[in-house]
Amino acid sequence: MPIPSQPAPARQNRRAFGVQVFGALVAGSTVARGQPTAAAGVDPALAAVLAGPQRSAASKARDVWRHPAETLRFFDLRADQHVLELSPGSGWYTEILAPYLRERGRLYTAHYAINPPDPDAGHQQARRDFEAKLAATPMVYDRVVSGSLPTTGFTDLRFDRPLDAVLTFRNLHNWVGDGHLADRLRIFHAALKPGGVLGVEEHRAAPGTPLVRQVSSGYLTEALVIEQARAAGFELSARSEINANPRDTRLHPHGVWSLPPNLSGAPEGSAARAQALAIGESDRMTLRFIKFRP
């Protein structure tokens, strides 16, 4: 998408913003000393990105639930990798991945389709908003290669080399619901290099939860995810409880969407909202798979 023209003062502000971001990246260890590091052993450049001005205060406030430093470290992310982020939504993780990979690696994103367009009007708007976000700050996002989420194969994404990692954050339940999970996992497997990582973060259902309940609630069992990944040619490498939340009962009137950030059915000032906020974001599995078979 072309970058919209802006008057000179806006361009100056954008350049200043870019200098802030990349000054922080260059001086990553300094920023890490000035800000609390999210996890011991985190790459100083990643710590700088997490503290950077490209992330809003609202985005940073969710770190306590989403643990991006620990999660990306668990997925063995490095700044020189070629990475595909799946269904990035409004770009919460893109704000981290794009500047971190910008200089030495490459970030690809696969969002809702625009050619031909996704039939869901809300999905179309989400894709437009995401593209506008990338175009508005080229000093951060100009090297992101964006395309469409595949169903039978990639239509508008071409990779310079086999991918080092494919990352998905809270998306698999949607693909179980639309019937495309198995096909997509096989497509992602084919795009990865041997030994490449499939990193999965997903709302976690209690073992034995019926499939119909998983689809309606947005919570999937670990057994289902592992079974589907193995069928596509992946092997489970490791599990983590980084994103566990024992307060989440998973028994909510609007499924996982009852909890933050959606807070469905929980208007301001209601007891339902107070209860949801006390629970926090969902209990989630965090799984690292490896491509072993061609």
- Write the pLDDT tens digit of every residue in 217-264: 999 999 999 999 999 999 999 999 999 999 999 999 999 999 999 999
Q: How far apart are CA 275 and CA 155, in angstroms?
A: 44
Q: How far apart are CA 223 and CA 238, in angstroms?
A: 14
Residue 23 lies inside a defined structural domain of this protein: no
Residue 29 lies inside a defined structural domain of this protein: no
Of residues 2 and 288, more confidence is placed in 288
pTM for this one? 0.87
Confidence of residue 42 (pLDDT cuts 50, 70, 90): confident
What is the average per-residue pLDDT within 166-184? Answer: 97
Which run of H or E residues covers position 208?
Answer: none
Q: How far apart are CA 119 and CA 178, in angstroms?
A: 13
Residue 38 lies inside a defined structural domain of this protein: no
Residue 21 lies inside a defined structural domain of this protein: no
CATH code at 248? 3.40.50.150
Looking only at the bridges linking them, the beta strands covering 163-169 and 145-148 are: unpaired
Residue 14 lies inside a defined structural domain of this protein: no
| C-beta of residue 51 within 8 angstroms of C-beta of residue 20 | no
What total of structural domains would you count in the chain? 1
Residue 256 lies inside a defined structural domain of this protein: yes
Q: How far apart are CA 284 and CA 244, in angstroms?
A: 5
Residue 161 lies inside a defined structural domain of this protein: yes
Strands (E), 119-218: 145-148, 163-169, 192-203
Q: Which of 101, 107, 116, 65 is nearest to 88 (CA)?
A: 107
Q: What is the length of the chain?
A: 294
Residue 54 CB: number of other CB atoms within 10 A?
21
Model pLDDT for residues 130-174, shown as the tens digit of each residue: 999 999 999 999 999 999 999 999 999 999 999 999 999 999 999
Residue 217 lies inside a defined structural domain of this protein: yes
* Domain housing 244: 56-291
Whole-angstrom CA distances from 68 to 5, 49, 262 are 33, 11, 19
Q: Name the residue type at position 102.
A: R
